[in-house]
Homo-oligomer: A and B are copies of this chain.
Amino acid sequence: MENEKILEETFDETLDRVLADIIALIEEKKYRTARDTIINELHNGADIAEVMESIIDKAGIERAIIIFRMLPKDILAEVFAYLPIDDQVNIINGITDKEIQFIMDEMDFDDMIDVMEELPANLVDKILEKTPKEERRLINTFLNYPDDCAGSIMTPDYISLRADMTVGESLLYIKKVGMDSETVYTCYVKDKGRKLIGIISLRTLVISDDNAAVGDIMHDDYVFVNVYDDQEEVSEVFKKYDFLALPVVDKEHRLVGIITVDDIIDVIEEETTEDFERMAGILDGSDKEYLDMSVFHHVKTRLPWLMLLMVELMITGVIITQFEEMLSKVIVLVSYLPLLMGTGGNCGNQAATLIIRGMTVGELEPSDAFKVLWKEFRVSFIVGLVLSIINIVKILFIDRQSLIIALTVGASMLIIVALAKIIGGLLPMGAKKIGVDPALMANPMISSLTDMVSVLTYFFLATLLLGI
């Protein structure tokens, strides 16, 4: 029984249990035992990094650094690579230059570049001072690629072969240089001018005859990206072709690096977060996490949009002012205002979200505008009719208002739903057409716009139908 229970313990439970033990040990200042517990209970860098993160949270960065420095050298760099960037910078500030140098040397090149990008300039200089000249030049090149381009996420660690090598020679060569598993599975064939002329998978090498020439069995018709291509485009290529890695070339078609699928998953995650935030009216650009961001930073990312949207909402206020006389005569109209504005906003956002998503996954193009218009028109007619009838019945029999009020609200509902769906459907397409990120055209932009439209429609119809 007891045994079975232990077997069924999930990974998360293991981590929680180990963490509780470690925190207790640290509090008793038994750092060595805490270190041993980590090594014995956890078996890979990602898990140890997760526990380290919690130690930093719960026991403070100073104590966490004591533990970190006691970890075996062979896993130190891996654990470090898995930590969030903030914790990495904090650790760097708490360890010796020699230890920094060691970690940087041991890390994968692309992970190291990610860390260097976040470090203060004087620390970067100090690290570069002690780096061999050739590597220093490479690091500087990589640090200079703009954020969000293919160059910023690629790694220069790849297996490079020549077309005149045999399969046997290639396998021996791979055995000799022996790289990380994430980068070894596609090998790149270059000519003497460092131009990429073909790719060949480790699988093909393993299953081919040892005497075959690489040049004869390689793919010379491969997909590649350019070093300044946007990382979002690169992730589209990965999604389409199901690749494990993709070569990156410069404008002379020289191979400058490769991008591996694990880094693309991070890009997808990052771009998704960006879309979510833009759709909610949050300006960001930092990859900091919620709790790590200062109050001032939070304000800075949220306030500008709120102020911009407030201008739109003020215009809606001005529209209402124009109808004040009518409203004061039939004050009951005000109580249906949130219903109409709210439903308009909701309808607009449903349509906008579907269209934005359709464009993100590549189904819809701005040229599909007429198809979208026609679909949204029919959908909104049915939706509007149902909502309209429900409201007319409710206003007549529950609110016990006059037929003319019920009809005003009902007719407004029908028109508002249609207009909101059309605005929500077409605005993101228009944005894309003129080169603006469609995600900016979702809630709350749509809500503010539909608010205006809703108020105008409702009060205009009221004036007409009520004859005031």
Contact = CB atoms under 8 A, between A and B. Distances in A.
Given A43-B221, A346-B309, A277 B314 contact: no
Contacts of A206: 171, 174-175, 184, 202, 206
A443 interface: yes
Given A207-B175, A371-B291, A382-B299, A338 B455 contact: yes
A242 B316 contact: no
A273 interface: yes
Contact of A334 (B275, B324, B383, B444): B324
A17 to B, nearest CB: 17
Interface string A244-267: 100000000000000001101110
Interface string A283-298: 0000001110001101
Given A202-B185, A207-B175, A276 B387 contact: no
Nearest to A338: B316
Contact of A345 (B239, B350, B353, B447): B447
Interface residues of A, number: 117
Given A207-B178, A272-B272, A444-B345, A289 B358 contact: yes
B175 A306 contact: no
B334 A327 contact: yes
A70 interface: no
A357 B181 contact: no
A242 B268 contact: no
Contact of A279 (B321, B353, B371, B378): B353
Interface string A21-48: 0000000000000000000000110100
Interface string A305-330: 11101101110111011001001100
A295 B382 contact: yes
A345 B320 CA distance: 19
B295 A314 contact: no
A361 interface: yes
A162 interface: no
10 contacts: A179-B203, A273-B361, A299-B379, A299-B383, A302-B379, A310-B391, A313-B339, A328-B331, A338-B341, A346-B444
